[in-house]
Amino acid sequence: MKFGIFDHIDDAGVPLSQLYSERLQIAEAYDRAGFYGYHVAEHHITPLGAAASPALIFAALAQRTKQLRFGPLVYLLPFYHPLRLIEEVCMLDQMSGGRFLLGVGRGVSMYETAAYGLDFSKTQAMYHEAFQVLLKGLDADELSFAGEFYKFDKLPMILKPVQKPHPPLWYGVTLPSNSAWPAENHVNIVALGLRDNTSAIIRAYREARRAKGFDENGTLIGLSRHIVVADTDGAAMAIARRAFPRWRQSFRWLFNRHGTEPRVIGIYPPTFDELVALGNGIAGSPETVRRWIANEIEQNGCNYFVPQMVFGDMTLAEALRGIELFGKEIMPAFN
């Protein structure tokens, strides 16, 4: 069992300079605690995502951490020129000594897509083309490609990644119907959303692996949940009850602005207590959280647990203490 972290780097009610500084300190704590990977969401024009240019965060992480792997969950491929992204991935993999995790996706927000002047109805096709270009460019001396959106003719690929033929691929899955492609193409996943949905995603992913005759555990099958750890159950719940509504407000902010509801991954309840009742999170002492995670792993069949441990207006001290307890008193039980 491996443990990672999923993070929106959402608005915490502090100056942006402080938010970035504290997230880098928090990432150093993940590194010390022994987490496998740090997965950062990419969002635009919304308080849900302050890491609008994830590569900048990752460049800093490459210098501030030693063992922690990291990467986007996900790069929104239609938002990038493929050549620029190929070169950035190579640089980040080299700067980190081969610790980059390459998450790819289309992007689920039509409002973020429109802000970049893109037609949401075309971004699925753009994503598929960009994905092909990205993989070719990372593993070629010359790049040639002729598609509807992208055309390249014998471009020299001077930069190369450390990891061959490319950094490991990751995909954030929000619908069971989207599980087959990553399963069949050996792409690691993190299942996102509410409990019934994520359980169905993991089942569908494993079924697709079995149907192809692949090792069901040949990839990392991740599950994300909101987790808060403190010295006591009461202290953890107090933090979670305060921080979760702010995160939820950021999650819904851009959709509320347009008078709609978030698509795909469901409507999170207003309070953390309701989230716990749904089975989608826990706040407690290390013993409480350890028991809860063990049951969650057994029920869902994941081999990679990816908590969202820092969100909303959690303070740096609260975050660092929770990470310390998780690393010392929870993770060793699953070795």
Tell me the CATH number at 73. Answer: 3.20.20.30
DSSP structure string for 201-228: HHHHHHHHHHHTT--TTSS-EEE--EEE
User: Do 25 and 91 form a contact (C-beta atoms < 8 A)?
Assistant: no
- The answer to pTM > 0.85 is yes
User: Do 255 and 248 form a contact (C-beta atoms < 8 A)?
Assistant: no
User: Do 209 and 218 form a contact (C-beta atoms < 8 A)?
Assistant: yes
Both structure tokens of 301 = 């069949």
- Does residue 264 carry a pLDDT above 80? no
- Number of domains observed in the structure of the chain: 1
User: How many angstroms separate the CA atoms of 236 and 267, rounded?
Assistant: 23
User: How many angstroms separate the CA atoms of 220 and 121, rounded?
Assistant: 31
- pLDDT tens digit sequence for 34-64: 999 999 999 999 999 999 999 999 999 999 9
- pLDDT tier at 263 (50, 70, 90 boundaries)? low
- pLDDT tens digit sequence for 199-222: 999 999 999 999 999 999 999 999
User: Do 170 and 104 form a contact (C-beta atoms < 8 A)?
Assistant: yes
Q: Which residue range forms the structural domain that includes residue 289?
A: 2-334
H/E segment holding residue 86 = helix 82-95
**CA pseudo-torsion sign 280, 29, 77, 12:** positive
- pLDDT tens digit sequence for 71-107: 999 999 999 999 999 999 999 999 999 999 999 999 9
